[in-house]
Amino acid sequence: MATYSENDKRKLTAQIKHKARGMGFSPVGVAPAGPPEHWGFYLDWLSKGYAGQMEYLVRNLDRRSHPGKVLPGARTVLCVGMNYDQERGAEPADERPRGRISRYARGDDYHDLMNARLKRLLGWIQTLDPGVKGRVYVDTGPVLERDFAARAGLGWFGKHTNLIHKRKGSWFFLGEILLTVPLVYDRPVADHCGTCTLCMDACPTDAIPQPYVLDSNRCISYLTIELKGAIPRPYREKMGDWIYGCDICQEVCPWNRKQARPTAEPSLKARAGLDAPELDELLSMDQTAFSRRFRGSPIKRARRRGLLRNAAVALGNRGTAVDIPVLTAALSDGEPLVRSHAAWALGRIGGPDARRALSEAAGSETDETVREEIGMALDEIDVADGPGGRRGRKREGPETSKPDKHSRVPHAASRH
């Protein structure tokens, strides 16, 4: 590798940034390849269990502790962003049940797009100096990417833990190239969140227990994507109609409300039907249909059983009897995870048809977890339809709707 004077470094840095921007990356910044500044914070976050079941965040800690352990001789971390904000689509004219998908996941898989483009950028850099070695990462390697991106001036840490750029908001992906060549490093930018706590206040599951700290166990994005088992009952109702990811903390951020520029990347624009997907259609998909529809999409990460689990919860939160048939069909799904959440949803909707479907399923169900969910769903219907329940009060009318203070029956959800 060539020896670089300060003037050489300035020239090469400018060339690389110009090339990166021409390839669709913005913002672009450069950080020194030293130990992560927030390494101690990261270890403390892990020790508190805030990573949930994301065991891959605990693996390779030694490699994560310094870029030089990933790429020997690393001198520089080239950090780039790519906008993924979406057009604001018109509200559907029909009354069909629909879910919400995080903006980043409505298009093609960004890993594929950014990896390929960053590898081309690295190849171009190596034409300038064949001795340069590099490694490309997009959200998957042993690199604390937000730490280096913040040091490279791409933004500051918001209280929701996403990186915020003063002119671009937080709707952008991150990618990195570790390089063995020294460049001119950028400076971090100041924190502009001030006293604002809108993101913390808006989170329906209180997943931000304090500024700059995320408890993944409570985060809707984690619950709908990374969590592979049953969604804890206290969080199901709070998920609303989110079926893959959640954007609430970013949607309320003033820096995002000021920056409304949809992505210019065709492959990141929303695929047909993913801005407001029909829940009954999703819940009816077999594995072949799922694989075909979400080929090349980030949504495949949740797998069929995870996405259908989420769709069942969203239908339960919608709470309308018209959805009982599709949920009843889901009680016969091959995946216990789908059956158990369909049972919960039917318990939320209630009524004689839901009760009948659950009772019939109970007679043939062999999975103990699903049987427990069916039992709790039937209990919830009993409570809701009883004298003090939400549906019982509606039938009795205003004169008898107030239960005796000594005979109130608690809502089933408060018991589980």
What are the backbone dihedrals phi and psi of residue 57, each rounded to the nearest 5 degrees, phi first? -75, -15
Find the distance separating the first CA and the last CA of the chain, reported in whole Å.
64
d(CA 17, CA 25): 9
- Beta-sheet pairing, 100-101 with 242-244: parallel
Q: Write a three-state SS string for 60-88.
A: CHHHHCCHHHCCCCCCEEEEEEEECCCCC
Locate 123 and state its tokens.
């190849």
DSSP state of 84: -
Kindly provide the residue ranges of all beta strands, DSSP E only, lying in 233-280, ordered along the sequence.
242-244
Q: Which is catalytic among the residues 8, 139, 367, 382?
A: 139
d(CA 139, CA 118): 13
The yes-or-no answer on residue 139 being catalytic is yes
Q: Exposure pattern of 207-226 as b/e (b: 16+ CB <10 Å)?
A: bbeebebbbbbbbbbbbbbb
How many residues appear in the chain? 416
Catalytic positions are 139
